[in-house]
Every structure is written in structure tokens, then in C-alpha cells.
Amino acid sequence: MESRSESKTNSNPGQVRIHGAAKSRVSRPMECARKKETLQLDRNVSEDGSSTSESSCGLSGLKAGRFETRKRQSRVKPVKIVSQGVCEAVVVPPLQLERTIGKRRCTWITPFSEPLYVSFHDEEWGLPVYDDQKLFELLSLSAALSEFSWPTILNKREKFRKLFDNFDPTSVAKFTEKKILSLKSSGSLLSEQKMRAIVENARQIFKVIEEFGSFSNYCWSFVNHKPVINGFRYARQVPVKSPKAEIISKDLMRRGFHCVGPTIIYSFMQAAGIVNDHLSSCFRFTDCNGSCYNQLNIKAEATSLAKTLNQSCTLQA
């Protein structure tokens, strides 16, 4: 009876009494299991605490070792840039890519932009141009924008230069009808209307030169020989034409130029640096402005030197 009552009193869970060696054999595995559970709980709590602290405090909550690991992982790796419609991929070396990433450009230049387009943005677009032959080339290429995009035009630029004698107005103005038809048959990609417009514009440039001394003086006279600096912050603010472009377009049409609508002329003004439409955050915005001031100083010095020479010649006479 006593044994039965003892077993009844000790029948509750967790209160079973185990004697001798059996107790040690059972209790050790249970203790190990409990220790593992407590360790796992501690780890979960620490990980939850660290993740919350990292999300709330940023880099300040990271340990030094993990921070160094992330720094190593953030190093620049070679990136493949594949242009649309081109099978070959251009691999940018890490050092070159670091230099590229270090410069802030206009937002229409992306990591996937073609290298020629990026170079055109970094070296030509928006830089003031005063050479007549260069201005004629940019005017002709801008006219082609109604049929192609800038990347496509730049990829065919050398071919255009070869077909149009490096855009020398003197040579292009002498193109005969036979020459124009040969350009059409050679597959210049441009429509016949655009090719004839380029030839006719070259002929009209000489009339402008006779009146203004140079095609450059004519183009820059509309902006008082100083570029228009807009300093837009966002790409959506950059217009496709302007009132000044409409004035120049009307005057060119009156003089017999072809394919010189306001949109084409504004693209020409942007490319020739008559308008600086680089975004204010772009590194070329200040570069183009500085180049413009240098050109103005050189012109001012040349003008003052010419006046001094004229005065000295008058005194000697």
C-alpha cells in the first residue's frame, strides 16, 4: 500500500524520482539538450538585437570585422557594357570604371551608354566651338537627329566625314548632282533630302561668311558672343527648343538653309556650346563655363593687341 501511494504521489510530470545510475544516465542528456536550447535562444536574441541595431544605427552599429569585410566586397569589379543591337561586349577595367564612377554626369548618361556617346558628352557636347568647319559638321550631324539618335550618328561619324570630305564647306559646296547620287548609292544611311540639305547649306555658308566675316560670328551674334548658361537641375527641365532657336531657325531659312527647324537648331546650339545645357550637378557644367571664359579672355587680349598695333602704326605714319 505504501508503494502504491508513493507512486501515485510521484506520478506528476517532472516529479518522477529516478534512483541510482539510471538517474545519471537520463539527466545528462536532458541537461545537454537544455544547454543547447538556451545557447540557440541566446544566439537568436543576439542576432535579432544586432539586426535591429544595424538597421536603426547604420554603420555605427557594425563591428570592425564585418565592416572590413563589406569594404572588401564593395570594391569595383569589371562590368560588361552591351549596347543595343551589338553582339560584342565592352569590358571596362576596374581602374577606368572607378574614374568614370567618380564623375557625376548628366542623368541621360548611364552605365549602359555607349563609350562613344560618353566621350562625346565628356569632351565635345556643350563646349563652345568657334571654328567654321566644326560648326558646319555639328549643324549637319544635328540635322541627322530627325532620322537617328546621337549614339547611332556618332558610330557612323567617321563614315559621314569620309563621304562629305571631312565636312569642309569649300569642298562640299562643289558637290555636283552626280556626286550626290553617288553618295546615295554608296549607302550613306542619310535620306536624299538630308544629303542635298548638307550640300546646299555648305553653299549658303559662304554667303554668310561674306556678310559676317565667318560662320562663327553669325552663329554667336544671336547670343551676344556669350553662351546661354541654363544650369538646370533635372533632365526634364531641358527643353527641345527655345525662342532663341526659333529666331535663328527663321533667319537661316530666310537665307536659304534647309533642314534647320527650331528643334534641330537647338540641338546644334547644345552641341556647339552656344547653350550650356549640362545639368548643374554634372562635372562638365563648370568645365564648359571655364572654357568659355578662357576663350573670351583670349579674344579680348587679341582685340586689345590689334588695337595697340593699329595705334602704333598710326603714330609711326
Residues in binding site for Zn(2+):
106, 121, 278, 282
Give, in order, the Cα–Cα distances in Å from 285 to each of 43, 69, 76, 186, 264: 53, 37, 26, 39, 22
Q: What are φ and ψ of residue 275, in 5° steps?
A: -125, 130
Residue type for position 44? N
Collect contacts of 109-115 with beta carbons under 8 A, ≥24 apart. 111/79, 111/81, 112/81, 112/82, 112/83, 113/81, 113/151, 114/81, 114/83, 114/151, 114/154, 114/155, 115/81, 115/90
- For 15, other C-beta atoms within 10 Å of its C-beta total 8
Query: Rounded to 5, what percent of the chain is helix, strand, coil?
Result: 65, 5, 30
Binding residues: 106, 121, 278, 282
